[in-house]
Copies of this chain bind each other. A is one copy, B any other.
Amino acid sequence: MNFPLQKVLIIGVGLIGGSLGLAIRRRGLAGSVAGFDRDAARLERAVSLSAIDKAEKDLKAALSGADLVFLAVPVGSMEGLAEELAGLLSKKTVVTDVGSVKGDLVGLLEKRLLPNGLFVGGHPIAGREKSGVEAASAELFEGAVCLLTPTPRTDAGAQKTVEAVWTAVGSRVVFLSPQKHDRVAAAVSHLPHVVAYALVACLLEEESAEPDLLSYSAGGFRDFTRIASSSPQMWREICLANGDQIVSQIERYQSVLERFRKSILNRDGSALEAEFERARAVRERLNKGAENKK
């Protein structure tokens, strides 16, 4: 496929949608980048931050001439949006999404969108502490992994287009089935967030007995509060949409933590040191992986 595309439409101009707009515009990947958002003020901010060329107020007009559409709304709003889009698509319009959950969602979106358009599920594994278009960055996807989740119903040309855009904005594209995606995302992203949220909640409870507790905290705990400062609404929706996989990952985590607790209770120093050593080696492996990518 060849750049530039004629027109890219981004529906939902928050952190991810806004960053996509900035990245696509910066690299000249599209003749124009239009934005659509239920929140008129946010849409205006996206224009003033140059995340999009044009703010569209009407979905039909927004879609006119668009060869690629990103659904960058919260997971819980995807299906309703797809229903609205369904009648407005042309046979050549490629639609993709950026939802953090894929399993059931891809099937639902295919059901709504495939009769009239083309659809490929996607999930850029990128985010920031801050949410909102104000935190958007043209570099957000550089060096990140973008998971695409084609199915037997996915059009090969549409898949190539979506893959090419993510590659062009600096991401490494990996293909997984929607079901495998949800297991992987539960492990590497959803579980860490739940673990961090629970840790912060735990210290909040302890704080009622020890009012100055949090003021004694250092780097380690502050990293947790960073992870736990993502959008509560977004994480609510992710937990609802990928609940089964997340619960299963939490249960695996619970059994590992219980093993740690018993080793500490039994003062089993060599078991503990072996666990800590294995965990430390992961960091070195990830750092090496990051260097090799450069």
> Which A residues contact B (CB, under 8 angstroms)?
125-129, 144-145, 147, 174, 180, 183-185, 187-189, 191-206, 210, 212-230, 232-233, 235-237, 239-240, 243, 246-247, 249-254, 256-258, 260-261, 263-265, 267, 269, 272-273, 275-280, 282-286, 289
Contacts and interface: CB of A to CB of B under 8 A. Distances in A.
Contact of A174 (B212, B265, B289): B212
A218 B261 contact: no
B174 A257 contact: no
Given A198-B260, A210-B187, A218 B254 contact: no
Given A199-B192, A213-B187, A226-B223, A232 B273 contact: yes
Contacts of A257: 194-195, 198, 250, 253-254, 257
Given A145-B215, A204-B278, A235-B272, A192 B220 contact: yes
If over half of A's interface residues share one DSSP class (helix, strand or loop), that class is named, otherwise mixed; here it is: helix
B264 A239 contact: yes
A262 to B, nearest CB: 9
Contacts of A147: 216
Given A144-B218, A247-B261, A254-B261, A228 B198 contact: no
Given A229-B283, A280-B232, A243 B264 contact: yes
Contacts of A226: 223, 283
